[in-house]
Amino acid sequence: MPIETFIAQVESIKNLTHDVRQLDLRLIEPKTIAFKPGQFISFEMPHPRTGHLVTRAYSIASQPSRSDVVTLLFNLVPGGPGSGLLFDLKEGDKTHFKGPAGNFYLREDPGRELLFIASGTGIAPIRSMLLANAECPDPRPATLLWGLRSQRDLYYQDELVDLTRLTPTLQVITTLSRPEPSWPGESGRVLRLIEERITSVENLSVYLCGNSAMIADATALLQKKGLCPIYREKYYDDKGAPED
């Protein structure tokens, strides 16, 4: 698929948490986009400090069958040019971006079940993959392990429950690294879930998306369990900071 420049209009904005936002961009020119679930688009903007043009990538969080609207999911990085640009957009605003691009997309890998592992907004490309998988006549069995920080950071929980009803072979586990004592669900980093829940990787294809520490640690853990394809999308380098 060639990389094109798109003009789009902000159709809707949803504040999913105190610092995570979902944006629906309706395509104006070209009117549709063809992409693989997991791919990203990029925006160019001047850096507020230097004035130099910089580029920031954002995964498409919607599924390819919805080709006239692109959904993005992002968190606020204070002072950051990319997230700042997206947070400044209002309903009806026009913007432009380039895409689609990237090698992090859902593969065939016949006979393998899917294991998705995300931290934070790393859920974006995985949401696209989950929705695309759910639309298949015979969805592949899949497990999602998703790490967030605390209750106030939770989102997409109802949507994921709906998706598991639609796709009974999908299992979703959200874990919180800093839960309130009242949290009834899993706690700790996603790495703990990998350690405890994944006994063998023999029949798995793994998709990892999030910060560099989570991706490095998860890869090392999975490789200890055996050999399987591992596809990775690193959002940013956190220089050894914990995944949350």
Ligand X SMILES: Cc1cc2nc3c(=O)[nH]c(=O)nc-3n(C[C@H](O)[C@H](O)[C@H](O)COP(=O)(O)OP(=O)(O)OC[C@H]3O[C@@H](n4cnc5c(N)ncnc54)[C@H](O)[C@@H]3O)c2cc1C
Residues that bind ligand X (CB under 6 A): 40, 56-59, 73-75, 77, 80-84, 102, 121, 124, 233, 235-236, 238
Alpha carbons 221 and 227: distance in angstroms, whole number: 11
Contacts of 153 (CB under 8 A, 6+ apart): 17, 20, 120, 176
Name the closest residue to ligand X (Cβ): 80
For ligand X, the closer of residues 161 and 236 by Cβ is: 236
Please state whether beta strands 94-101 and 170-176 pair in parallel, antiparallel, or not at all (unpaired): unpaired
**13 SS3 class:** strand
Alpha carbons 62 and 24: distance in angstroms, whole number: 9
| Cβ atoms 188, 144 nearer than 8 A | no
For ligand X, the closer of residues 201 and 211 by Cβ is: 211
For ligand X, the closer of residues 142 and 215 by Cβ is: 215
Q: Report the nearest approach of ligand X to the CB of residue 81 (Å).
A: 4
Q: Report the nearest approach of ligand X to the CB of residue 202 (Å).
A: 29
Q: Report the nearest approach of ligand X to the CB of residue 39 (Å).
A: 9
Sign of torsion, CA 192 232 27 139? Answer: negative
For ligand X, the closer of residues 61 and 115 by Cβ is: 61
Q: Report the nearest approach of ligand X to the CB of residue 23 (Å).
A: 10
For ligand X, the closer of residues 97 and 186 by Cβ is: 97
Q: Which residue blocks in the chain are alpha helix, DSSP H?
A: 81-88, 123-135, 157-166, 190-197, 212-225
**55 SS3 class:** strand
For ligand X, the closer of residues 155 and 201 by Cβ is: 155
Q: Report the nearest approach of ligand X to the CB of residue 243 (Å).
A: 11
Q: Report the nearest approach of ligand X to the CB of residue 199 (Å).
A: 31
